[in-house]
Chains A and B, each alone.
Chain A
Amino acid sequence: DTGVSQDPRHKITKRGQNVTFRCDPISEHNRLYWYRQTLGQGPEFLTYFQNEAQLEKSRLLSDRFSAERPKGSFSTLEIQRTEQGDSAMYLCASSSGLERNEQFFGPGTRLTVL
């Protein structure tokens, strides 16, 4: 049974560059979530997909952020014109809604913006 995977695990970029992260959820999980975790804080919700539809976005998700889940399987999160404040761990989670709504988390992508 393969868990949630994320790629890359680490990303260092210069301010102003664009970055894209990928998340592969557990097979057949129709719900996919993105969270952001900064140092010393709990994860904060960014956005949610049910199948390919993006159903909810947090106010944290500025217009520089865009997420897609084109075929209802993997998802990408793109950050344009990165800022130092974007430095964080970006976590992906998936769920089927059947296991009493348990969300299974990936290992995260740690972004450092120089």
Chain B
Amino acid sequence: AQTVTQSQPEMSVQEAETVTLSCTYDTSENNYYLFWYKQPPSRQMILVIRQEAYKQQNATENRFSVNFQKAAKSFSLKISDSQLGDTAMYFCAFMSFGAGSYQLTFGKGTKLSVIP
């Protein structure tokens, strides 16, 4: 079974600054995806960024980038130039390629507050 650990329950960052959210995972699989999802207060969950495990290059989406360390099973999210709209719960999630449902396994989340 896969597990996802987010060791930072809450974090805060000043507007326009950079923040990094941590995530580690445990799996015996070799082919998988990793995701960061954002859940704003009282709003639905949306995908921020994804990483295919077979790709060595770290994924980047505008102000969001990841540091994927496959051997260490680490997948951190860096948010640059933080904006007030980035305030949300952030969930790290794992999906296996293997035969099955492609279900997501989530961490417990990190509550990020962007301070004006």
Contacts and interface: CB of A to CB of B under 8 A. Distances in A.
Specify whether A and B are partners.
yes
Interface of A: 3-4, 31, 33, 35, 40-45, 48, 50, 55-56, 91, 93, 95, 97, 100-108
Contacts of A93: 104
Given A101-B95, A102-B50, A91 B45 contact: yes
B22 to A, nearest CB: 15
B103 A56 contact: yes
A56 B43 contact: no
Interface in B40-76: 43-47, 50, 52
Do most interface residues of chain B lie in helix, strand or loop, or is the interface mixed? strand
A104 B81 CA distance: 26
B108 interface: yes
A51 to B, nearest CB: 13
B105 interface: yes
Interface residues of B, number: 23
Contacts of A101: 33, 95, 102
Given A40-B108, A100-B52, A101-B33, A48 B44 contact: no
A87 B100 CA distance: 28
B101 interface: yes
B103 A45 contact: yes
A44 B106 contact: yes
B52 A42 contact: no
A33 B46 contact: no
Contacts of B106: 42-44
Given A35-B104, A44-B106, 11 more contacts: A33-B104, A40-B109, A42-B93, A42-B106, A45-B105, A48-B101, A48-B102, A50-B101, A56-B103, A101-B33, A103-B104
Contacts of A4: 44
